[in-house]
Structure 1
Amino acid sequence: YAQAFPTNFLALVDTYETILSGVPNYLSVALGLWRFAQIQAVGIRLDSGDLAYLSMRAREVFSTAADAFANEGFQFIAGSRIVASNDINEAVLLSLHDQPHSIDSFGIGTNLVTCQAQPALGMVYKLVELNGQPRMKLSQDFEKQGVPSRKA
């Protein structure tokens, strides 16, 4: 994605482990884009977990990275945008408003175009096999893990 859309690179970082894996991987790609192409990455998207907490931890990591690589002109990374999504509705927005967070913008999809009294069918596509080899989606949330194998 970063190669195809380098000036719009917004990474989904919460697929496996947001703070220990997703955010550091975003920083690695962002630093590579900056070092080798002088392209500034845009930021990250959080789509699960405690959005307020994760946004604040991510912002701390961005600030630390900006300081660590300041001599390479990487200070801009401290201002990386943090976008939150994950079935955001009015109640979630009000809750986030009442607590500290570092979220810059919200991605509101399902609840923008459907009535919550008549809910939409939430679905996720997960890779379970690649070239005949089973693949498993790992997650900190047991419910989000996939079962590897061909599906009929």
Structure 2
Amino acid sequence: MIITASNDLNEETIDALNKQGHEVDAFGIGTYLVTCIPRLLLAGIHSMQKTMFRLYGKEGYPLVDIMIRESEPSPKAGERILCRHPFLESKRAYVVPQHVEELLQCYWPGTSSMFIGSF
């Protein structure tokens, strides 16, 4: 049997489970993924369409994935974006991506769209 744990997991919870010698095979992490301000996505199902982007640094490594409303301007290479720390809400940092990649493709637009992307 494969055991998957999810529901508001963060780094501290997973670390505590590791120290307790858990038998979890996989963790589902969604709520505490890195999001950026003002392009903040609150957890939950909304009727608004969202777009997801991966921002890359100078060395070509991914820095952060963000979700924004479809109506908001897309992030652009060289533009500074204020981001929240993924686990400590009071911490902030600016990110200046050197490359921006759109991750989701909409195949059936509407209120119950299906998106396929790489995560």
Fold shared, TM-score > 0.5 on shorter chain: no
Higher gyration radius (CA): 1
Q: Which has the higher contact order (CA 8 A, sep 6+)?
A: 2
After TM superposition, the score normalised by the length of structure 1 is 0.24
Q: Which has the higher helix share?
A: 1
After TM superposition, the score normalised by the length of structure 2 is 0.30
